[in-house]
Structure 1
Amino acid sequence: MRDFRDAKAMAQTLRESLTTKSVTISHSESLELVSRMLGVADWNTLSALLHAERRDPIAPAARLKATTALYPAIPLRDLVPFPNATYPMFVGREKTMHALNQAFEGGREVVVVIQREAAVDDPRFSDVYEIGILAQLLELETLRDGTLRVLTRGLRRVALRSFAAESAAYQAEVAEVGEGVARDARDLIRRIYQRFQDYTAAHGILVPDIWLFFDQTRDAGQIADTVATRMKLPIKDKYELLATLDPTTRLERIEALLDLSQRPVSADYAATKRRALDHADRRRHQYATLEHLLLALTEDANASAVMRACDVDLGKLTQSLVQYLDNELKHRVIETGSAEPTAAFKRVDQRAAFLAQEVGYPEVTGVNALVALFAETRSPAARLLAEHGVSRGRADKAIVRGLG
């Protein structure tokens, strides 16, 4: 195989062969299949590797030391990239497109900067954060709507000295930044390893190779960046991790973000959880399930406001939940003792805390629990919500409008 275009040809051949056998797959699905046949996780990774291998030799860019250097620049509204990670970026602003064209004609390196406010369409130096990423361009694709999809790989942090539009393209003058030497962080890395497993489980994040990475790597800075890349955080929180140059301090901040005790529970949601356990105890049920929790959420001021915004008849939903609990769970009755939350109940509670963290809520509310419940797609609670017209999309729209 010479380059990524050969892989595309293989995908096309595979697709045509399957069509003759009455099996239809999309072009993107055939690309993913070819990637797995070649032992690579996905098409983006394969394309990046092959494109990097076929790249014509070019003069290496001068490393930034005491002096500064000028690069084409890409301002981002809603993404904070980190070193050693590959990102697809979608570009529509004309000045950014010109910057990409300049980069591909030159050293294929750009400075990626992060905007302070996403609403700013034509950012200036005061509109972007001080720390950015020097990135390598791997692949460029023009989409049907005229925008560009570019695959980049973060190389290292840089400090911005200037950022402006020159000759119809964004440019940034940057200087090298030193990250210092990490202190012994073995215990800290071990704690983050354990907490990050809970975090990925709560969010349904598939990271099959990261645990092997933890076993093989002792670079505190690289571990911090790898975890930060996969965490779902507000832009400001992610940028603070990017701008934290000391590797051990960066790990300590990540540990704090992974610590659920940092996000307090609102008084209303605490009462809702107690009410869910009471619903189970009154029925002498052995476990408090998601259906008990949803019944309690119908009485939660915040969660019920979102459900009403989705045109739910709370009386009918409550009746359906009571019928389910009284009829379907009567075999789970115990003589003595208190109900224990099921694993699904605990997952939703944990996921709610992470969701509150992601959207910047000062405390966990019933709204976060309601949204967290949608991920439990096999539960009767999620099924009943769907039957009564409550979907994740409709709930999100209600929350955006300020309800709940």
Structure 2
Amino acid sequence: MPERPGQQRNHLTRLVRLLQRMTSMRDFRDAKAMAQTLRDSLKTKAFNISHGESLELVSKMFGVADWNTLSAMLQTDRDDRKPTAAVTREAPHAGIATYPAVPLRDLVPFPAASYPLFIGRPKTIQALDRAFERQREVVLAIQKQSGVDEPGGDDVHAIGVLAQLLELEPLPDGTLKVLTQVHRRVLIHRFVGENVVGENGAFEAEVAALSEGPIPDAPELILRAVKRFERYAAARDIRIPGVWPLLEHTRDPGRVADIIATRLRLPMADKQKLLATLDAVARLRQVDTFMDFGRPASAQLHATKRRALLHATRRNHQYATLEHLLFALLDDDDAAALLRSCDVDFEAMRTSLQVYVDRGLNNIAVQGEGEAKPTAAFQRAEQRAELHAQEHGRPEVTGADMLMGIFPETRSPAAQLLGEHGVSHARAAGLMTRRPEQP
């Protein structure tokens, strides 16, 4: 005998409550199975709902705004996910859009921030050309391994961002510098580096928008995170732009988390984890936790970085480069000790660096621009130095850690000069491992 409407509603209420209790014990990766269980059970009671309705109900049980958002979480969590089927332009899926794409090796971008990107791969340059011909929008996809030159679908993370191209500047070495403004997160369904006929073309991504749901109210968490970030930035000499919003007056915890995350010195994997966390409150809590980690710079390293900026400023250079930094590190006790262990001829290296900073950087010399600003490569070296100190359990970042941060910038004259003087990354790392810890 079929149930009456009132009995159906009661049964539905009991079943939903049961599944809600199950969410406290089950992982969200069980969401599809739970949705099917809900639908099948209701069908036996002559209470029919669509598959889509069951998915939306289960999403609400997990505290997620909608099924698209929960689906993105499922996709991101799956480390062994397979590339999705190609979405054809003749019959695109609903909500899917195709954009030129830029794969990123050593940067995780966040919404509401601007980033300078340095572009050298031919397929990325092709992607920029296509973007400038259209709406200047590109997908920024984060590579899982920086050493992959021709990334495909399996080589990029599922969560990326959609960005606007603002400025393009050709550089003397044939690469491009492009300024981007990040708009929002997207779910990458397909990422390719070939066009439809199999010839070499531009990197391209097919993406869907992600919903982060309504803005939750978390004023105490926001205030706590902002105050901790102020202390974090002060301890690490992180410069906060004057145009930053007053974070303590921002009511969106997700936006606060993203703004702070752009300045945190974290491994790529941790930053990608933050980008892939769609729940705004959970993301800000993770940011707050990450500020417990990291290492401040030593007093001597602070002085060394100031000296590098002065080397550039006195020469009217707009930027402080890795070469200014290496020049300053020659007078840093910790860096000098490591270089001596590598049998470096200090006078020869000092002479080479002085000639370069005096004569080889005329293209960045300007008048009346004030204090020099560190280049993106300089800042990347700082971030690597902090991570290096953290990985080796040292309480402070030293000049030796900063020296290690220069090696990955293989195209820089600073890294090349180190190699010419017999200082390789492997040799320096081995010597640092054997050095006794400072008290």
CA distance in 2 between partners of 1:179 and 1:360 (Å): 35
CA distance in 1 between partners of 2:215 and 2:244 (Å): 21
Conservation of the 8 A alpha-carbon contact between 2:277 and 2:283: yes
TM-score of the superposed pair, with normalisation by structure 2: 0.50
Other structure's SS at 1:122 match: coil
Conservation of the 8 A alpha-carbon contact between 1:305 and 1:403: no
Conservation of the 8 A alpha-carbon contact between 2:119 and 2:125: yes
Other structure's SS at 2:246 match: helix
Aligned to 1:358: 387
CA 367–213 in structure 1, closer or farther in 2 if over 3 Å, else same: closer
Aligned to 2:365: none
Superposed CA deviations along residues 86-135 of structure 1, whole A, max 9, x for unmatched, are: 11111010000111100110111010000001100100110111100100
The reply to whether residue 178 of structure 1 matches residue 206 of structure 2 is: no
CA distance in 1 between partners of 2:128 and 2:157 (Å): 20
Unaligned regions of 5+ residues in structure 2, if any? 1-91, 196-200, 296-332, 345-382, 404-420, 433-439
Aligned to 1:86: 114
Compute the displacement of 1:239 (Å): 0.9
CA 67–362 in structure 1, closer or farther in 2 if over 3 Å, else same: same
The reply to whether residue 130 of structure 1 matches residue 158 of structure 2 is: yes
The reply to whether residue 196 of structure 1 matches residue 224 of structure 2 is: no
CA distance in 2 between partners of 1:395 and 1:195 (Å): 38
Other structure's SS at 2:189 match: strand
CA distance in 2 between partners of 1:373 and 1:113 (Å): 28
Superposed CA deviations along residues 243-301 of structure 1, whole A, max 9, x for unmatched, are: 111111110111111014x99xxxxxxxxxxxxxxxxxxxxxxxxxxxxxxxxxx9xxx
Aligned to 2:373: none
Conservation of the 8 A alpha-carbon contact between 2:97 and 2:207: yes
Aligned to 1:119: 147
Name the Cα RMSD after superposition.
3.7
Superposed CA deviations along residues 210-256 of structure 1, whole A, max 9, x for unmatched, are: 77521431111111110001112111111111111111111011111
CA distance in 2 between partners of 1:249 and 1:123 (Å): 30
Conservation of the 8 A alpha-carbon contact between 1:116 and 1:128: yes
CA 399–357 in structure 1, closer or farther in 2 if over 3 Å, else same: farther
CA distance in 1 between partners of 2:218 and 2:176 (Å): 41
Q: What amino acid is the match of 1:82?
A: F
Count of aligned residue pairs for this structure pair: 248
CA 311–197 in structure 1, closer or farther in 2 if over 3 Å, else same: farther
The reply to whether residue 164 of structure 1 matches residue 192 of structure 2 is: yes
Match of 1:96 among 98, 121, 124: 124
CA 371–190 in structure 1, closer or farther in 2 if over 3 Å, else same: farther
Conservation of the 8 A alpha-carbon contact between 2:118 and 2:177: yes
Conservation of the 8 A alpha-carbon contact between 2:105 and 2:145: yes
Aligned to 2:285: 252
Aligned to 2:174: 146
Conservation of the 8 A alpha-carbon contact between 2:223 and 2:248: no
Conservation of the 8 A alpha-carbon contact between 2:389 and 2:396: no
Aligned to 2:264: 231
CA 366–310 in structure 1, closer or farther in 2 if over 3 Å, else same: farther
CA distance in 1 between partners of 2:225 and 2:384 (Å): 19
Compute the displacement of 1:191 (Å): 1.4
Conservation of the 8 A alpha-carbon contact between 1:65 and 1:175: no
Q: Greater CA deviation, 91-100 or 233-242?
A: 233-242
CA distance in 2 between partners of 1:211 and 1:109 (Å): 24
CA distance in 1 between partners of 2:95 and 2:336 (Å): 58
TM-score of the superposed pair, with normalisation by structure 1: 0.54
Aligned to 1:309: 341
Aligned to 1:292: none
CA distance in 1 between partners of 2:183 and 2:206 (Å): 16
Compute the displacement of 1:208 (Å): 4.3
